[in-house]
Amino acid sequence: MSNVLSRLAVAAAAIPVVLGGVYLGGWWLFALTVVAAFLALHEFWLLARPLSPLSPAGYVGGILALFGAQRGGIGWMIGGALTAFALAFLLKGISATRQAPTASISATVMGAIWVGCGLSFMLLIRDLPGHGRLAAITVVLAIWAGDTLAYVGGRLIGRHRMAPNTSPGKTWEGFAFGTAATLFVAFDALYKRHFLTIGQSLVLGAVIAVTAPLGDLFESMLKRDAGVKDTGTLLGGHGGVLDRIDAMLFAAPAAYFCIVAFGYR
């Protein structure tokens, strides 16, 4: 199967599952994010293997961050994620690996916070009163639209590389296409359905348009450091789970705080 057909097949199977989980919310979305977090963390541990991350502590911190967000909000989310620090310290004390504690513990805590908290913000957005479902679906669609149009724009007219030393395939032309798509989705979904004002919907779209590519570039930096193209092969042409949610891990927190800053909480 060609790379394009593989990407289309995976997208056709995954999109209904993701949108269904976001639409239903509650424990359905929690279960979906737990599965995604577990798989993404597994890929991250493989990526960071030279640092000897203490994966059990990272799994616990990441899952507890999600559980805290689901049950108690942002405060409990942070508390859940920080358990990774204490557990990593304890595990390092009994570990036989010779890797420096600073590297092992830092990699462990980073994974728990990056993946666990990043996905937790989707739960927090979904739980916003009144329009949580609309906001969460819009954030997901805006990220997907931006990523898709950035890819298309880059392939069609991309000439000026955005970050040649980190991700050579990304271009400023693709970024412009992606930004336009993200702004359109945010405006169409949130203003036309009487949730945000014109200005607010465009600001939120701009925030997502900037932070989603940054999330992608951050993961690209880690992959380049590890000398790999993708974090996995589970999703065929899309790579690994972490490759698919990297933009969301930056964009979801930014979107949540943007919406809260508008007075919706």
Residues 140 and 247 in one domain: yes
Residues 150 and 247 in one domain: yes
Residues 138 and 246 in one domain: yes
Residues 102 and 145 in one domain: no
Q: Flag whether 8 is in a domain.
A: no
Q: How many domains does the chain have?
A: 2
Q: Flag whether 2 is in a domain.
A: no
Residues 218 and 255 in one domain: yes
Q: Flag whether 194 is in a domain.
A: yes
Q: Flag whether 12 is in a domain.
A: no
Residues 48 and 91 in one domain: yes
Residues 235 and 158 in one domain: yes
Q: Flag whether 19 is in a domain.
A: no
Residues 114 and 150 in one domain: no
CB 123, CB 98: distance < 8 Å: no
The percent of residues above 70 in pLDDT, for the chain, comes to 95
Residues 182 and 199 in one domain: yes
Domain boundary residue, one of 127, 142, 173: 127
Q: Flag whether 7 is in a domain.
A: no
Examine the pLDDT at 4 and tell me if it is beyond 70: no
Residues 101 and 136 in one domain: no
Residues 222 and 144 in one domain: yes
Residue-wise pLDDT tens digits, 207-231: 999 999 999 999 999 998 888 887 8
Q: Flag whether 54 is in a domain.
A: yes
Examine the pLDDT at 257 and tell me if it is beyond 60: yes
Which of 83-87, 92-96, 138-142, 157-161 has the weakest average pLDDT? 92-96
pLDDT at residue 1, rounded to an integer: 47
pLDDT interval class at 30 (50, 70, 90): very high
Reported pTM: 0.92
Examine the pLDDT at 2 and tell me if it is beyond 60: no
| Domain limits for position 81 | 25-127
Q: How far is CA 259 from CA 28, 54, 80, 124, 263, in A?
A: 23, 35, 23, 11, 7
133 CB neighbour count, 10 Å cutoff: 16
pLDDT at residue 196, rounded to an integer: 87
pLDDT at residue 237, rounded to an integer: 63
Domain boundary residue, one of 93, 127, 161: 127
Average pLDDT value for residue range 54-75: 96
The percent of residues above 90 in pLDDT, for the chain, comes to 66
Residues 154 and 252 in one domain: yes
Domain boundary residue, one of 94, 127, 160: 127
Q: Flag whether 9 is in a domain.
A: no
